[in-house]
Structure 1
Amino acid sequence: MRRSRLLSQEQDDTEVNLTPMIDVVFILLIFFIVTTSFVRESGIEVDPPQAATAQTQSQASILVAISPEGEIWVDREPLALAALGPTVARLQAERPSSSVVIQADKDARSGRLVEVMDRLRQAGVEQMSLAAQP
């Protein structure tokens, strides 16, 4: 009788309680979701020109890409030149401390780059940078 009690107590003590482990997994999941930084992309891959004086910019929240064919991309969407100003103005209203970086391909026409910069200035963009490789 005494032996059966000891065996039953040992069996009760060896059970694994999964509740604390599940709690820890959920806390880790929440931690990784909160600390993840999301990378913003313009939507197309461009080959920027090289510049010896290029500087790294820590935060660029609005990326405007110009392809070699002259296409304009913002937030993974192709845009017409006429729609560029209102789109970027809306994005700046959503993110007030944002800056605009123009990622022009090295084979893109300089005339298209000037048109894009002009539309951005008309939309009220004050801080604008050009992407280049060091």
Structure 2
Amino acid sequence: MYLPQPRQRQGIEENILPMINVVFLLLIFFMIAGAMYKQDAFAVDPPATRHAAEGEPVAMVVAVAADGRLSLDGDLVDEPALLARVREWHRAHPDEILRIKADGRLPADDLMALLERLRGTGVPEVRLLTLHEPGR
């Protein structure tokens, strides 16, 4: 008479190890993906708007803090360096649109003065980035 051999039960460790490996790889992936995103040099609270344009690729972003500090693509800069880099960027990318991310508490006069100086660099269009708040 033939009696089948009893199957050996796999230990719980053998079932959990592949799951631990996958979780570890996902953790590494998200740590690397999160590090690739360039943070702003300071916190900016943009003004709100009712009308929002659909997402467009962002080429260059100038951030302006409420106290007037300037940042270009996440790097703190002074105004002469900002204008020089924007002029240089515009020569290389004449069809691109410059984006401004200004703090909502920044005085409008200061923002308008900066926009005038940026217009002097030859950039054809500057867009002010805002938060979309429907029904406001």
**Common fold by TM > 0.5:** yes
What percentage of residue pairs aligned between the two structures are identical?
23
Structure 2 match to 1:78 = 76
Deviation of 1:71 (Å): 0.6
Give TM-score, length-normalised by structure 2. Answer: 0.62
Contact 1:42–1:64 (CA under 8 A) maintained in structure 2: no
Q: In the alignment, is residue 43 of structure 1 matched against residue 41 of structure 2?
A: yes
Q: Which moved more, 1:64-73 or 1:89-98?
A: 89-98
- Residues 19-98 of structure 1 mapped to structure 2, 5 A cutoff: 42-98=40-96
What is the aligned partner in structure 2 of residue 129 from structure 1?
127
Q: Which amino acid aligns with 2:72?
A: V
Q: Which residue number corresponds to residue 102 of structure 1?
A: 100
- Residues 22-64 of structure 1, C-alpha deviation per residue, up to 9 Å, x if partnerless? xxxxxxxxxxxxxx9x766653331111111122341221100
Q: Which runs of 5+ in 2 are unaligned?
A: 1-32
Deviations along 1:58-104, one digit per CA (max 9) or x if unpaired, are 12211000001111111222222233221101122333432111000
Tell me the amino acid that sits aligned with residue 54 of structure 1: A
| Aligned residue identity for 1:109 | P
**What is residue 30 of structure 1 aligned with on the other side?**
none
**Structure 1 residues not aligned, in runs of 5+:** 1-35
Where 1:55 maps in the other structure, the secondary structure is: coil
Give the number of the structure whose residues are more often helix, by fraction.
1
Amino acid at match of 1:108: L
CA RMSD of the aligned region, Å? Answer: 2.2
Q: Is the 8 A contact 1:70 1:109 kept in 2?
A: no
Aligned residues: 98
Helix, strand or coil: the match of 2:49? Answer: coil
TM-score under structure 1 length normalisation: 0.63
